[in-house]
Chains A and B, each alone.
Chain A
Amino acid sequence: MAGVELKNLSKAYGDVEVLHDINLSIADGEFVVFVGPSGCGKSTLLRMIAGLEEVTGGDLMIGGKRANDLSPRQRDIAMVFQSYALYPQMTVAENMGFSLSLERRSKDEIAQKVQEAADALKLGPYLDRKPGQLSGGQRQRVAIGRAIVRKPQVFLLDEPLSNLDAALRSETRVEISELHQRMETTMVYVTHDQVEAMTMADRIVVLNAGNIEQVGSPMELYNHPATEFVAGFIGSPKMNFVKGRYADAVGAATLGVRPEHFAIGAGDNTWEGKVTLVERLGHDTILYVKVPGAGVLTVSLDGQHDQQVGETVYLRPQPEFIHKFNDNGRPVAA
């Protein structure tokens, strides 16, 4: 096991710099998730740690050693790819044992380690099958098995769940979290899905346009976003941003209110609006409310409610949960 440290790390393709001056310290055994929109550089950053992309500036340290110029094999890392990247001509057992066979371990040792990993991932019955004979979820478990069989210093996972359907995704998410608790290995996980980030990470790194916007625990990011971008990216449904008179009233350029931080009911300081759409999820009811001067706001109510489209409602943002941002998208000092 080892920690990972990025010191002033940058990446350029020719004259175009895609990652700027990244500084980050990942502790030994920590589960860190890189999250951000498409093209923000999160996968590139992960691939730089893996050794699949050259570092063009700064230092990359793995286990306290400078790893900029080490090949992937010298870094003692394992990676799970979005596309699984299983060797199609090999069986599940051969796929999982491939790295060990390259290290010229004995056949007995390889078989034993593969069996252990297969048991942990419930892959025992499939060891003799080829990847083409497996379902998407099973293939992803084989890819994870191939990574854990080596007991690497650092695990890298590049959007490993994005090819799975919703049900399998949440199931595999739990399995990966349990795996991390069991193995206590450093894990770096890339996703564009903030729900994955919130549910799995010890710390989340939010990236935007090649820069780190904020690093923190899921609750830190949720409760105290450092920028308007982070506030909008973390949380589902996403935060409402209101400009104009409602923002002016609280001394901010932009006022941020999460959908779950609205209460409904007449009274002082309420925003009057008309319901334009209702999504009934059973445990939640999501209302889309058009408020003059604020636009269409998303409101998430606990439980089941009977508001109808076209109905007038009065929204009351809970003052202790509102977020105020200045013109630069930074929080307004209290």
Chain B
Amino acid sequence: MGRWLLVFVLGVIAILMVSPLILTVFTSLKPTTELVNPPWYPPFNLTFEHYVRVWTEGGFSRYFFNTLVISVIDALMMILIASLAAYAMVFMEFRGKIVLQVLFLIGLMIPVTAIVLPLFQIVRSFGLLNTHLGVIFADLALAVSIFVFMFSSYFIGVPKALHEAARIDGATEFQIYRRVVMPIATPAVVTTALLEFLWSWNDLLLRLLLMTQDQMRTLSVGLLNFQGTMTRDVTGLSSGTVIMAIPVVILFLFFQRHFVRGMTAGAVK
């Protein structure tokens, strides 16, 4: 009885979570004539015309490229910066270490929305408005604290003796980082790559704020094109959403195992 109840509750939750995705996919594949049907009707005549339209006329090919460039660079840079900072915090002794830790902690506590305006001013003062670099710098600065803590919690689990053995073997700190510590930190690297990629891929606020020119736009901003004050292109919006979601879903399917391991690192000994 208990088991059936559990299956029932989980089933209801699963349906609630999955149904918007299914409805979006249905809508994106329906010919315009079928839009009069209720949204939960599956498409009777499959069509990819909306995808083609969004990809070409809607400018999604360029938006896709922009998003991909920003997200990939974000993820790679975040792995490098956060892991180096966490390495220093965990394995090295230096003056001002506590101050740095407190600064990272403060970075965790401040919501992006609270600093949007000063951030805009800073990016503008560097002349980086409407550049990919401006968004990348802002992304990195805003999320680096979280990933420093994630890497730190992983590195704390690395036996200190490994670091000491490498020092005795004659390795410099950077050699220990590159050849001893990072090769065993794969779960943390994968988690950082996925999470940062995902956040960067989905972010709307910073892209809307820092990149106003059409040729610099990303997918999340591009989706707004299908939604005016008085009108809404439902099929365009749906197929654009699916285009935006596909890479993320594929990434998760591939790296799910690593991802879960990285998220729980340091939770238990």
User: Residues on A close to B: CB < 8 A?
Assistant: 50-52, 71-73, 77-79, 81-83, 85-89, 98-99, 102-103, 146, 150
Which residues of chain A come closer than 8 Å to B179, judged between CB atoms? 98
Excluding A72-B170, A85-B162, 13 further A-B contacts by CB distance (< 8 Å) are A50-B164, A51-B168, A71-B167, A73-B168, A73-B170, A78-B168, A79-B165, A83-B161, A87-B165, A98-B179, A102-B169, A103-B170, A146-B165
The minimal Cβ–Cβ distance linking B113 to chain A, given in whole angstroms, is 42
A selection of 22 A-B contacts at a CB cut-off of 8 Å is: A52-B164, A52-B167, A71-B167, A72-B167, A72-B170, A73-B168, A73-B172, A79-B164, A79-B165, A83-B159, A85-B159, A85-B162, A85-B165, A86-B165, A87-B162, A87-B166, A88-B184, A89-B183, A89-B184, A98-B169, A102-B175, A146-B169
Which residues of chain A come closer than 8 Å to B184, judged between CB atoms? 88-89
The minimal Cβ–Cβ distance linking A193 to chain B, given in whole angstroms, is 20
The minimal Cβ–Cβ distance linking B257 to chain A, given in whole angstroms, is 18
A interface SS class: loop
The minimal Cβ–Cβ distance linking B68 to chain A, given in whole angstroms, is 30
Which residues of chain A come closer than 8 Å to B204, judged between CB atoms? none
Which residues of chain A come closer than 8 Å to B167, judged between CB atoms? 51-52, 71-73
Which residues of chain A come closer than 8 Å to B170, judged between CB atoms? 72-73, 99, 102-103
**Option from A73, A79, A81, A150 in Cβ contact (under 8 Å) with B171:** A73
> B168 to A79, Cβ gap below 8 A?
yes
Which residues of chain B come closer than 8 Å to A102, judged between CB atoms? 169-171, 175
User: Residues on B close to A: CB < 8 A?
Assistant: 159, 161-162, 164-172, 175, 179-180, 183-184
Q: How many angstroms between the C-alpha atoms of A79 and B159 in the bound complex?
A: 16
> B180 to A87, Cβ gap below 8 A?
yes
Q: How many angstroms between the C-alpha atoms of A71 and B180 in the bound complex?
A: 18
Which residues of chain B come closer than 8 Å to A150, judged between CB atoms? 169
Q: How many angstroms between the C-alpha atoms of A68 and B220 in the bound complex?
A: 59
Which residues of chain A come closer than 8 Å to B172, judged between CB atoms? 73
Sorted nearest first, the 6 A-B pairs with minimum C-beta distance are: A85-B161, A73-B170, A85-B165, A99-B169, A89-B183, A72-B167
Q: How many angstroms between the C-alpha atoms of A273 and B239 in the bound complex?
A: 96
Q: How many angstroms between the C-alpha atoms of A71 and B166 in the bound complex?
A: 12
Given A99-B170, A103-B170: A85 in contact with B164 (beta carbons within 8 A): yes
Identify the closest chain A residue to B163 (Cβ). A85
The minimal Cβ–Cβ distance linking B188 to chain A, given in whole angstroms, is 14
Q: How many angstroms between the C-alpha atoms of A50 and B163 in the bound complex?
A: 13
- The interface centre, meaning the residue of B162, B168, B170 with most chain A CB atoms within 10 A of its CB, is B168
Identify the closest chain B residue to A99 (Cβ). B169
Which residues of chain B come closer than 8 Å to A82, judged between CB atoms? 161
Q: How many angstroms between the C-alpha atoms of A178 and B233 in the bound complex?
A: 83
Identify the closest chain B residue to A88 (Cβ). B184
Which residues of chain B come closer than 8 Å to A72, judged between CB atoms? 164, 167-168, 170
Which residues of chain B come closer than 8 Å to A78, judged between CB atoms? 168
Which residues of chain A come closer than 8 Å to B169, judged between CB atoms? 73, 98-99, 102, 146, 150
The minimal Cβ–Cβ distance linking A13 to chain B, given in whole angstroms, is 13
**Option from A51, A81, A89, A103 in Cβ contact (under 8 Å) with B165:** A81
Which residues of chain A come closer than 8 Å to B164, judged between CB atoms? 50, 52, 72, 79, 81, 85
The minimal Cβ–Cβ distance linking B161 to chain A, given in whole angstroms, is 4
- The interface centre, meaning the residue of A77, A89, A146 with most chain B CB atoms within 10 A of its CB, is A89
> A77 to B168, Cβ gap below 8 A?
yes
Which residues of chain B come closer than 8 Å to A79, judged between CB atoms? 164-165, 168
The minimal Cβ–Cβ distance linking B154 to chain A, given in whole angstroms, is 14
Q: How many angstroms between the C-alpha atoms of A77 and B165 in the bound complex?
A: 11
> A81 to B183, Cβ gap below 8 A?
no
Q: How many angstroms between the C-alpha atoms of A50 and B172 in the bound complex?
A: 15
Q: How many angstroms between the C-alpha atoms of A50 and B169 in the bound complex?
A: 11
Which residues of chain A come closer than 8 Å to B168, judged between CB atoms? 50-52, 72-73, 77-79
The minimal Cβ–Cβ distance linking A101 to chain B, given in whole angstroms, is 9
The minimal Cβ–Cβ distance linking B165 to chain A, given in whole angstroms, is 4
Which residues of chain A come closer than 8 Å to B171, judged between CB atoms? 73, 98, 102
